[in-house]
Chain A
């Protein structure tokens, strides 16, 4: 059943654009001078969380090229002389690819599994960023702060994930319950 009219069109576009807009917001929020302990720690990893969370439900609304652009934007804004531009883009693209490839283990499963999946993928992301930043600046970067951020993020995930799942543009309630958890690689719910 499909509704027509302006509202339906708005709804359609809203759903389509929501993940990208949320990602852009978190990319900008990374730079916000919040100065709050712990919260400031997780800010740099929030875009990665967004990519992970939206890739679970609606990967087609975060297309690869968009992730590339957002990653480059994040690197440009975050700055730092000599830091590689594009490493976040690489991380985002890989996170999305991994989530899409492993949907069977991540969608419609108990939350604990999703959490473990998140921990693994974000660890990969943090390691990639660290390795490339160290390579590009050719210094033995202290990995301590990055690991600290990672740990805070892992702990914060159960708090943030349900929040984002609400923001996530859910399709109308036409996804039959039994079909959840049986998604195939590449399959989407739209």
Chain B
């Protein structure tokens, strides 16, 4: 009996030693994974895509009831302000109708002029509608997961738009899932122009709800209320997608832009398939996943 007790005590000590060693091993393992991730970004990218593809069915199952609940709550809230909302909409509608007339006239005129000058527009854009199945919003990331992927024609670098304006761009693509990086993410750099003056600028996110506008050079300056649209530079984004509105400008202060897209209530988005991405020749289907166009390496 005594021998057995001794044995058990010794076994316990060994087990404790292994446990202590195990912690060191696990910590080393975590560090090793981090270093490998830093050294081999392609591997990490592939692992991310695989994880996304595996998780997206589960996420979709979670997202649907959540979306229904959110919509119900929003509906209930809207009931309270139905009257005012109605009045506001009626007013807006009459205003927009006059705008529509103007737009039709201008479109006609534009078409004529283009015919006259034999102007060739860029490739036609087509849209892929996607449901947002996951938020990839943490303290350090602003993004979302979509339920469409390579099989539907999504490719890295494509623009993601909502009804209001640009939401972001595709960062990673799996077979049936994709990750969007919002324009407000700290890694987002977007070539834009100011609609009023056609001056080019770079719009950078900083993980807050506003974005920072950096003008290359400015003659006419920028003022509050200016609309910011994509400039089409880099080739992957069509020209003229509305992005946001300047809310803060002036001497000495940085120019801040509020995005048109409401990231807190996104449910469906459209991925703009512009035919070519900036890094691929026309008609050449992307055989290998390309790195996202934009921020890296700048």
Contacts and interface: CB of A to CB of B under 8 A. Distances in A.
Interface of A: 28-35, 40, 44, 64-65, 67-68, 71-73, 76-87, 89-90, 93-94, 97, 129-130, 132-133, 136-137, 139, 141-142, 145-146, 148-149, 186
Contacts of B38: 84, 136
Nearest to B137: A40
Given A81-B292, A142-B207, A44 B139 contact: yes
26 contacts: A31-B55, A32-B62, A32-B134, A32-B135, A33-B63, A33-B66, A33-B67, A34-B66, A34-B135, A40-B137, A64-B22, A65-B26, A72-B33, A76-B52, A79-B48, A79-B143, A79-B171, A84-B37, A85-B34, A85-B37, A87-B30, A89-B30, A93-B27, A94-B27, A133-B140, A145-B207
Contacts of B137: 40
B266 interface: yes
Contact of B140 (A32, A73, A83, A89): A83
Given A76-B47, A146-B139, A33 B133 contact: yes
A165 B134 CA distance: 27
Interface in B157-200: 171-172, 179, 181, 185-187
Interface of B: 15-16, 19, 22-23, 25-27, 29-34, 37-38, 44, 47-48, 51-52, 55, 58-59, 62-63, 66-67, 70, 132-141, 143-145, 171-172, 179, 181, 185-187, 206-208, 264-267, 292, 295-296
Nearest to B185: A80
A81 B139 contact: no
B30 A97 contact: no
Nearest to A98: B23
Given A35-B70, A94-B27, A76 B134 contact: no
Given A35-B264, A79-B141, A85 B44 contact: yes
B211 to A, nearest CB: 14
Nearest to A88: B30
